[in-house]
Structure 1
Amino acid sequence: MDTDISDLSSLTVIVSITFFTLISFVQHVIGTVTRESIFIWRSEERSGLEKLEDLFRKADQSNSAFSIIKTISLASAVINCYFIFYQPSQNQLTSYDFGRISLIAISTLIVLGVLETIAKVAGRHSGPRVAVRIYRIAIFIGTTLRPITRSQERLIEISTAEENPSDISENSNIAMQMDDEGEPLEEHEVRMIRGVFQLDKTVVREIMIPRVDMIIADISTPINDVVDIMIREGHSKIPIYRNETDQIEGIAHSMDILGQIKSAESNNNSELKEFLRPVLFIPESKTLEFLLTDFQDKRMQMAIVIDEYGGVSGLVTVEDLVEEIVGELHDEFDTRDLGIREVEKNEFYMDASIAIDDIALSIGVSFEGEGFDTIGGFVLHELGKIPSPGDNFSYNNLSIEVISTVGRRLREIKILKT
């Protein structure tokens, strides 16, 4: 009987160590999928780019699942090593027995530590090339254990909330707050208060204008042409770059330029660089709370957002920040038309950059899922590849088709309600 238990424990140890090593290898392979590696694959137009991007988006989910499996494997290996090597000298544990148990546990941990190091070196050496091949395994593990990892995240949130009860009471007081006349707060008032409390949790990346949508001008652009851009686009401030977008030289302000143009004698000899104001550079990860402080301290209304490699990833303005608190604002240059055209009954054409919530309200449909804010993002999510004109798919009672693209970007989409 003891032999059977020992054999079973030996098999379990082998399986546990194997699982631990393989999962460590997979985890470190996934860790090589970074923005830089994705950029390289995109520039070289390699196949499997969509898989890399999906792995990058779901990295946190996958890592949580891998950690759970590694923890279980580690515990299983230690416990079963105990059953293999430990045989009690008496019916009661002695200090000698405790010493043997400790030695078994430490030895097992050392072996697993060495295997972890080997898996780490092998995983990092393999890189994104292997990550593409194990894509299905990684996604399957992450999806299968999602209920457990989600529960784990929830427990962490609860424990964090218990450590900071003032945050809960503060939000509860707001939710039940009445105005001076004892009436409940209006919906827009509640939204504004919630927006304020989210400033320290929301990062610039979530509200910025993406690089591809930035209105910018080269420093060699004639001043009159810059004025035309400002008038056409309805912007009073435009970033000015030299040679490429990553080299932002300054911000051109309409007030400075128009004041100089008014003087005809100086207009002919003026260059755009004479009117540039300093640039405020901020990282993608900066929270809106600190962004607001920067805008106030430096008396600026626009900032250029920089990614982790120093490249320009977008821009953010005071208006974007205020809209995060009070909701969307419209000035005299904005149009209330969302850009959704109903060509025939139940047949709609729209720009891919329109917010998916606006589309849902406008045409009376609903979209489910996470990780996208626009209809273009939803289409990319469903297609799972770089879109081309004519690509189509069905979703619930909708027929969705890609009408046009610009490079790799979606431009126009058609939705037919069936």
Structure 2
Amino acid sequence: MHESFSAIFLDPVILPATHVTGFVILILVLLFLAAIAAGAEVAFFTLTVKDINYLKTREQPGSRQAIQLLDDPDVLLSTLRASKYTLAVAIIIAANYMTHIFLPPLENPYLSFVVNLVGITFLLLLFGEILPKVYARQNNVRLALFAAPIVRVMFSIFRPAASMLTDSNEYSDKKKARKKLLDMDSREFEETVELSMGHTATKEEVDIFRGIMKFGSITVKQIMHPRLDISAMRESWTFPKVREKMLAAGYSRMPVYKANIDEIVGMVYTKDFLPYTEIDDFDWHSLIRPAYFIHQQKLIEDLLHEFQQKRNHFAIVVDEFGGTSGIVTLEDIMEEIIGDIRDEFDEEEMNYRKIDDDNYIFEGKMLINDMCRVMGLSFDTFDEVRGESDSLAGLVLEISGKFPTVNERISYNNFDFTILSIDKLRIGRVKVERSA
């Protein structure tokens, strides 16, 4: 037995120079991949909501791959660990041969084995574990972008084995705990608020606490006014037409575009026109101010800080291709916390009508999140079918897969959507019924 052990692990192996170079390159490559796996394990699972939304705004392939990998965090973590352990075994085997080539064998074969083991273990811990994880904690977004293509390959190779592993991790635990908190029904939430406040909280107080709780995870896309609802002015219009448009719209700020709404060139403020209202040949283009553009995945928490710093109340929302998605205002952000804000100039506009607790009639342009808020539903109720849609009309189109007709009923789980009106290829009113 002693002879077989010595023959396999301890006897020196003499290889040609080309083979030695090949082993060195092989070990370096394996060590690099092991470092990527160890670093990615920290980088991916320390990404905050803000980091993930930042990755969504990047157009490079690595960002999209990183987001796709995070869709299944449990399997991703198991894949990274399986990759790391497999690569470590491969490094140990390759390095064992290398030490026999470069180092003379010791008289005691067991001492030689221990020296090799300690040296290889130190190499693995330092360059394949400690340094990558230290770097990943300080540069998690950068490493996630860099490692995503490599991890994608590892994911494809080791996914079958990783899927069979049941491994809990801090990221998934936090995600599940947060989802459970967000899915908490109104009664449970009210009881929690009452316990924390020490008295019976009013509905308004509960709504404000709920808004604060969700404020840090809401994106601009969820609260913006879609592009179909934007009132804007064309750059080529004459001043009388611009004046007529502003008086009809009744807004304090309006975007200005060239050929279409995707080519916004600036903003105009109603107050700037007051000294010139009687001058028909006035060149109103001198009053155009720069527009403020933001991405639709920006968190409204960050946007609020930017509004405060820049003393701005209005932003143009763009998608990943630079097209105009909608607009968002400071008032929209504040309404997420304290509810609807109406002043003496606002018209009483109801985008929905309540029939009973389970039956409502909504306007098709109403945001899905607003509909869920009115009906007391969780914001992720329709996440599986909503796709990229933000409005109720878009949700109906996603579920139906075609443009519906008037009085057509479309069902999803325990919800029935009945189309009540259609105006110029736009879904008008929709009746939403919730069954028990």
- Give the TM-score normalised by the residue count of structure 1: 0.56
Pair 1:207 & 2:245 matched = no
Q: SS at the partner of 1:95?
A: helix
Matched with 2:78 is 68
Q: Calculate percent identity across the aligned residue pairs.
A: 23
Match of 1:327 among 321, 329, 339: 339
Matched with 1:375 is 392
Q: Shift in Å at residue 82 of structure 1?
A: 6.1
Match of 1:316 among 325, 328, 333: 328
Pair 1:221 & 2:258 matched = no
Match of 1:254 among 263, 267, 270: 270
Q: What CA distance in whole angstroms lies between the structure 1 residues aligned with 2:60 and 2:346?
A: 40
Matched with 2:417 is 400
Match of 1:303 among 306, 312, 315: 315
Q: Shift in Å at residue 36 of structure 1?
A: 6.3
The residue correspondences of 1:9-408 to structure 2 (distance < 5 A) are 60-62=70-72, 65-76=75-86, 78-79=88-89, 90=110, 94-99=114-119, 120=149, 152-155=171-174, 178=197, 183-193=199-209, 195=211, 201-261=217-277, 263=278, 266=279, 268-284=280-296, 286-307=298-319, 310-331=322-343, 332-340=345-353, 350-356=362-368, 359=371, 368-370=381-383, 374-380=391-397, 382-383=399-400, 385=401, 387-390=402-405, 393-400=410-417, 404=422
Q: Shift in Å at residue 240 of structure 1?
A: 1.0
Partners of 1:241 and 1:247 within 8 A in 2: yes
Q: SS at the partner of 2:236?
A: coil
Partners of 1:405 and 1:412 within 8 A in 2: no
1:90 and 1:34, CA in 2 relative to 1: closer, same or farther beyond 3 A?
same
- Count of equivalent residues: 334
Matched with 1:168 is none
Q: Shift in Å at residue 274 of structure 1?
A: 3.4
Q: What CA distance in whole angstroms lies between the structure 2 residues aligned with 1:365 and 1:292?
A: 26
Q: Shift in Å at residue 218 of structure 1?
A: 0.6
Q: For residues 129-155 of structure 1, give each alpha carbon's deviation from its aligned partner in whole angstroms, at most 9, with x where no partner exists.
A: xxxxxxxx9xx99xx799968863325
Structure 2 unpaired stretches of 5+: 9-29, 38-54, 98-107, 130-145, 178-191
Q: What CA distance in whole angstroms lies between the structure 2 residues aligned with 1:207 and 1:93?
A: 64
State the one-letter code of the partner of 2:79: I
Q: Shift in Å at residue 324 of structure 1?
A: 1.7
Q: Shift in Å at residue 322 of structure 1?
A: 1.7
Q: What CA distance in whole angstroms lies between the structure 2 residues aligned with 1:406 and 1:395?
A: 25
Partners of 1:236 and 1:253 within 8 A in 2: yes
Q: For residues 71-111 of structure 1, give each alpha carbon's deviation from its aligned partner in whole angstroms, at most 9, with x where no partner exists.
A: 224324544886999899659962234446778999999xx
State the one-letter code of the partner of 1:152: Y
Partners of 2:223 and 2:367 within 8 A in 1: no
Q: What CA distance in whole angstroms lies between the structure 1 residues aligned with 2:403 and 2:300?
A: 36
Q: What CA distance in whole angstroms lies between the structure 2 residues aligned with 1:157 and 1:365?
A: 18
Q: Shift in Å at residue 205 of structure 1?
A: 3.6
Partners of 1:78 and 1:105 within 8 A in 2: no
Partners of 2:255 and 2:268 within 8 A in 1: yes
Q: What CA distance in whole angstroms lies between the structure 2 residues aligned with 1:72 and 1:217?
A: 58
1:232 and 1:147, CA in 2 relative to 1: closer, same or farther beyond 3 A?
farther
Partners of 1:217 and 1:241 within 8 A in 2: yes
Q: Which has the higher contact order (CA 8 A, sep 6+)?
A: 2
- RMSD value, Cα: 5.7
Structure showing greater radius of gyration is 2
Q: SS at the partner of 1:354?
A: coil
1:202 and 1:78, CA in 2 relative to 1: closer, same or farther beyond 3 A?
same
Q: Shift in Å at residue 269 of structure 1?
A: 0.8
1:232 and 1:149, CA in 2 relative to 1: closer, same or farther beyond 3 A?
farther
Q: SS at the partner of 1:245?
A: coil
Q: What CA distance in whole angstroms lies between the structure 2 residues aligned with 1:189 and 1:243?
A: 46
Q: SS at the partner of 1:192?
A: helix
1:246 and 1:395, CA in 2 relative to 1: closer, same or farther beyond 3 A?
closer
1:103 and 1:57, CA in 2 relative to 1: closer, same or farther beyond 3 A?
closer
1:327 and 1:239, CA in 2 relative to 1: closer, same or farther beyond 3 A?
same
